[in-house]
Structure 1
């Protein structure tokens, strides 16, 4: 009778799962598909409404030499809230700062 010796590396305990490289890849891809599916389902809920929004009424103003955004906003703000008008003008014209160039055309909200 012969005795067979097995190394401890080759012996697996009952219930242990050993995955091959392909098995790990499949598990990874299935997990990735699940995560992307959940992400798409959540993103589908944030859809714009089919009704168009009302455009804010504006008028075009050309910046004069030496004119500042504060001057333009002060002339347009009827209630004296110049800071709020500056914020609206910056948002409407996609301005990063209050710096203006002479001859630049701005959209100014009309109240």
Structure 2
């Protein structure tokens, strides 16, 4: 005999973890946290690594001076410090430059 109009549903009991199940879940969470921190640490440590490849350069144009070049490539820096840095990077004894001369520029411009 079939029952008509009665809706019979089975209610699943709430999820219960055994002591071993809780230990497994905790272990997985710790593993994920460890991997995430390792990735973050590796990424952060690479942020300070020097950039690979040749340093940036500029070719001196006719009429250029060290001051002009420093102002053009390092506009936010103090002019005297920028010129001193260009001289140091390029082992220049004086302040004169020649057209066609290639100067090494600081990486952080």
TM-score, normalising length from structure 1? 0.46
More helix by proportion, 1 or 2?
2
Q: How does the TM-score come out when normalised to structure 2?
A: 0.47
